[in-house]
Amino acid sequence: MNFSPAISRYFRHGLSLLLLPAMLLTHCTSSKEDTPAPGGGGGTGGGGGGGNPPATGPSQVALWLTTPDQAALFQKSTLTLNFQTPASSNPTIIVDTTKTYQSIDGFGYTLTGGSATLMSQLSASTRTALVKELFATDENNIGTSYLRISIGASDLDAKPFTYDDLAGGQTDPTLAQFSIAPDKAALIPVLKEILAVNPTIKILGSPWSAPAWMKSNNSLKGGSLKPEYYAVYADYFVKYLKAMQAEGITLDAITIQNEPLNPDNNPSMYMTALEQSSFIKNNLGPALRAAGLTTKIILYDHNTDRTDYPLTILADAATAQYVDGSAFHLYAGSINALTTVHNAYPTKGVYFTEQWIGGPGNFAGDFGWHISNLIIGATRNWSKNVLEWNLAADQNYGPHTDGGCSTCLGALTINGNSVIRNTAFYIIAHASKFVRPGSVRIDTNVPSNLTNVAFKNPAGKKVLIVQNTSSQAQTFDIQYRGKAVSTTLSAGAVGTYVW
């Protein structure tokens, strides 16, 4: 059943609150342990208790903490946390780097056209500082490492558009009128500033609609892509990717259609699994290959309640040869559905590409749900990324199209030259700063009320994200290579531990 975008997002979000975080661990593989035992490294830690003697000397483990009351917001602890001989009966999270799972591409946001417009209107000094805070990894910067952008307008642009819009009744089968000029006003300049700070950031592009003249209803809202324009639309993707490359922006991946089973957004386009499969197999896959483009093709880009959609496409080997993996949202369904798709096609990636927070929001509830289901739940179910929707909106949740999401709370609220950091900023920060691209998820157990996920990053650091889901403070041990540290998280708190 489909609803208007705003109602649909509210309704799905309400349903999603009933979901339990999934902690499935399946099909693990082994890797050789190559990390030395912890030494007297620098940094800071937190906690204590559990019967161990007080630690002395510099902290071996850094702790970055967020509490539901916002007393700490991704705050670096000044307490000391060191490994010792286990000497307590605390609940224990055992971190095992010899069991590994998927590699990580990154964590981030959707840089909508509206987000870019608001950022472009900041003063140069404010924007420079903000881009550094978002995309650099030193000091208190959060290291955002993955962005999703719209191919043409999303519903969080001021108005719908594509790169080949024509007057009614006209067509352009040679794409002679194609131009990415609409993106040159704000999106491309902001992307270039981001790339100057993080040249290796991964970028995913997703269209909300094909040009209206290619569609069954001659509208940017709803309708389907006419089969006679499949080849032209494949060329449209090629032209777009090459035009972005000419601007110095290389996309790592594309999805075929944002929310292909939702024709009620503005813009939007309905596309069945068989239609998407045919388009990839006969048109888009061969067109990208002929153009020498290595951009990944990612399927679906919609809710986890319809795993039949990606599974139908992946079952066709002629289509699957062009496909890197499947992308999901969680406005309906359960996060463990990602494992279902992974287990069916373990050589294909799974990605988590969108989840909103409805304004004005509830920090404790929203933060806890997103950490549990996405940062922890999605990655424990094989996702290679986690993306929040969206990076920035103004104080009125704008800009957005007529009929687009009118209450989407950005990770940032930008009002004139002021910037407020909202819930999604801290959700992503807990993973993005230390779980760098190329990190690998490693094995942990899940004690009661201590949902968690762990990674080993390319620098060899271990990163453990723990959420205390109980209503009271919880003291627990983190065990690694026979040694343990004791630490405490208050009710609902989330800690990122790094050593």
pLDDT in tens, 385-431: 999 999 999 999 999 999 999 999 999 999 999 999 999 999 999 99
Q: Which residues face 486 on adjacent strands?
A: 477
C-alpha–C-alpha distance, residues 137 and 432, integer Å: 9
Percent of the chain, pLDDT > 70?
Answer: 89
* pLDDT value of residue 57: 63
User: ∠ CA(222), CA(228), CA(232), 5° rounding?
Assistant: 85
* pLDDT value of residue 28: 37
Nearest by Cα to 290 from 336, 237, 245, 250: 237
Query: Rounded mean pLDDT of 194-213?
Result: 98
Q: Which two structure tokens, joined as six digits, stand for 168?
A: 């009614």
- Dihedral angle of Cα 393, 395, 399, 402, to the nearest 10 degrees: 130
Buried b (16+ CB within 10 A) or exposed e, 211-242: bbbbbeeeebbbbbbeeebbbbbbbbbbbbbe
The answer to whether 354 is a known catalytic residue is yes
* pLDDT value of residue 31: 35
Choice among 33, 133, 247, 259 that is catalytic = 259
Distances (CA, A) of 61 to 100, 111, 439: 21, 33, 18
Has residue 283 got a pLDDT over 90? yes
Sole residue written with tokens 């957004």: 265
In sequence order, which ranges of 393-445 are alpha helices (DSSP H)? 423-432
Give residue 8's pLDDT band: very low, low, confident or very high (50, 70, 90): very low
49 contacts: CB under 8 Å, gap ≥ 6? 88, 90, 475, 486, 488
Q: Which residues face 327 on adjacent strands?
A: 300, 351
Q: Which two structure tokens, joined as six digits, stand for 416?
A: 């004139």
Specify whether the CB–CB gap between 305 and 16 falls below 8 A: no
Q: Which residues face 387 on adjacent strands?
A: 108
Q: What is the pTM of this model?
A: 0.90
Phi, psi at residue 110, to the nearest 5°? -90, 120
Lowest-confidence range among 55-64, 128-137, 363-372? Answer: 55-64
The answer to whether 193 is a known catalytic residue is no
Specify whether the CB–CB gap between 384 and 350 falls below 8 A: yes
* pLDDT value of residue 56: 53
Helix 124-135 to helix 113-120 angle (10° resolution) is 130
* pLDDT value of residue 187: 98
Has residue 52 got a pLDDT over 50? no
- Dihedral angle of Cα 465, 442, 460, 490, to the nearest 10 degrees: 20
Bridge pairing between strands 202-207 and 146-151: parallel
